[in-house]
Structure 1
Amino acid sequence: MPTGLDHTDHRAITDHLRVDGDAGLARRHEDEDFGWDKDTAKAYLPDVLDVLAESQTRLFAQGSDKLLVVLQAMDAGGKDGTLRDVLTGLNPAGIAVTSFGVPSEEELGHDYLWRVHSHTPRAGQIAVFNRSHYEDVLVVRVKRLAPRATWSKRYSHIKAFEKMLVDEGTTIVKIFLHLSRDEQRARLQDRIDSPDERWKFRRGDLDDRALWDDYLCAYRDAIEKTSVRRAPWFVVPADRKWVRNLAVASILRSVLEDLDPQFPEPEEGVDGLVVE
């Protein structure tokens, strides 16, 4: 992958990470730093987060546009850390984060998109999916929870579902945090060794790790089959958390900049009004 991206050029970063056709997971380096200086990039991140907060304030006030952010990653890929480091400064009234785990009995009684649909954003809101409907072409495929004839149809279902959301005014951004197998090993070991992190670890994480190649293949297919102009995927190198954070923030900045939300006009006669 080429290096030398300007860490302040959010447009170039966004364009570079967008998937157009081949996901290129094999050639996209998980530890890529784009030639950025760590201290400089970390110092610049708060400036980008300030822009995000300002844009979200206008989005919420305008009350018309809707933004759905889908976050996917391997275990220990940094989804929670990204939410904490990039989205913490946003107005809680205008953001909703939903984490999708193992489906409940009730959810399994419906079609697989049922559980996510009610969590899509309302007007003026940013909704973030920590895992998502894509689990039904990832986990379901890799663990053989459904036959190929079932899950292979879901790519077209998902594209149609997302097209409907876009047609109804939702902007969709899908981000894959691309973690290396070596970095995952280190992070899982840290969880085991750290008393404050051990609660996050499940023995099943090791079972999933043994299926690494199968998951990577499933991610490649899901990304390539569903990354379209109206609902693109972005592959973000995730081994270096400081790179991940600035890259994700830059993508969101570009998306909100394109939406260009504006404060609504005040009621007539408010200008110059004096409160007694």
Structure 2
Amino acid sequence: MLDQPQELIEKLLVKPGTPVDLKQRDPRDKCGFGDDKETKAATEMLAREIDALQDRLYAEGQRALLVVLQGTDTSGKDGTIRGVFNATGPLGVSVTAFRPPSEIERAHDYLWRVHAAVPRRGTIGIFNRSHYEEVLIARVRGFAPKETIEQRYDQINNFEKMLVENGTVILKFMLHISKKEQAERLQERLDNPKKHWKFSPGDLDDREHWDDFQDAYETMLNRCSTPWAPWHVVPADRKWVRNAAIATIVKATLEGMNPQYPTVSWNPSDFTVT
């Protein structure tokens, strides 16, 4: 594993104000990790350490951590949640998978349901897809006028700034997968009866718009990687690298937050359990 997580963060970070070109980001990059078996074992250890830090965060009850996972189909959002947060106690973690909006959700502004899903203080919230669908699929599929999409970048930035100013730390990960790797994973879903439920014909429709989605992602990264909520582009062709990278950054972030167990106003030595 990497001894200096800051090096990894700097490598994957989309620096605010610096244009990003996804073609220059290798989806198969190992990010400095070595042997896959060793890295997987180390990731399991990181997951346990994240659990311990989350326990402190929950006990402190003052701040929250929001982890945004965004990526094309098969990029590994579900796998990341299992690989990085499976060891974390369910009491302090919430996972929200954003599906197409319901009738009541469509009757509100597009951030209404997102704000309702933001983690409460003391917890870690994970978004499996997110409010960024409103500038990705909405843009590529034309679900909203161009003028509306253009307004949303600043609206999202302001929304996230408000969350940060009120005690929510935000980590945003774009899971960067190659078109070739996606093809192999989609084919696996067709070949394996146990994975048929994961396949949707709409996945192939989106695949036909691959270049359009890559352009939309680049615009999203360039417009919405801010000092208060920057994006990280994580190579996702190798699942074990993806998990190790995200676990490393999550742990480092929680350590930086340094949550503390609260002190009590009474003296434990004054009490005896009989």
TM-score, normalised via structure 1 length: 0.95
Query: CA, structure 1 residues 275+178, in 2 after alignment: closer, same or farther (shift >3 Å)?
Result: same
- The partner residue of 1:100 within 88, 98, 116 is 98
1:23 aligns with: 20
2:9 is aligned with 1:14: yes
Which stretches in structure 1 are left out of the alignment for 5+ residues?
A: 1-5
Compute the displacement of 1:273 (Å): 2.9
Deviation, structure 1 residue 272: 6.0
- For these two proteins, the number of residue pairs brought into alignment is 271
Structure 2 contact 44–84 (Cα < 8 Å) conserved: no
Contact 2:14 2:232 in 1 (8 A): yes
Deviation string for 1:104-155 (max 9, x for gaps)? 1111111110111011011101111101110000000000111101111100
Identity over aligned residues, as a percent? 46
Pairing 1:62-211 to 2, within 5 Å after superposition? 62-211=60-209
Cα shift readout 1:176-224 (whole Å, capped 9, x = no counterpart): 0000000000000000111110111010100000000000100110111
Q: Tell me, yes or no, if the aligned pair for 1:7 and 1:41 is still in contact at 8 Å.
A: no
Contact 2:40–2:240 (Cα < 8 Å) also in 1:
yes
Moved more, 29-38 or 100-109: 29-38
Q: Measure, in 1, the Cα distance between the counterparts of 2:157 and 2:46.
A: 31
Q: C-alpha distance in 2, partners of 1:39/1:69? A: 26
| Candidates 23, 34, 41, aligned match of 2:31 | 34
SS of the residue aligned with 1:268?
coil
Structure 1: distance between partners of 2:12 and 2:234:
6
Comparing 103-112 with 261-270, greater Cα deviation is found at 261-270
CA distance in 1, matches of 2:11, 2:157: 23
Question: Counterparts of 1:64 and 1:92 in 2: how far apart (Å)?
Answer: 18
Give secondary structure in 2 for the equivalent of 1:275. coil
**Which amino acid is 1:166 matched to?**
V
Tell me how far apart the structure 2 counterparts of residues 266 and 85 of structure 1 sit (CA, whole Å): 35
Cα shift at 1:262: 0.8
Tell me how far apart the structure 2 counterparts of residues 28 and 169 of structure 1 sit (CA, whole Å): 32
Name stretches of at least 5 consecutive residues in structure 2 with no aligned partner: none
The answer (yes or no) to whether the contact 2:68–2:171 under 8 Å persists in 1 is: yes
CA distance in 2, matches of 1:85, 1:243: 11
User: Which secondary structure state, in structure 1, belongs to the residue aligned with residue 193 of structure 2?
Assistant: coil
Q: How does 1:194-273 map to 2 (within 5 A)?
A: 194-271=192-269, 273=271
Contact 2:59-2:122 at 8 Å conserved across structures: yes
**Going by fraction, where is helix more abundant, 1 or 2?**
2
TM-score (norm 2): 0.96
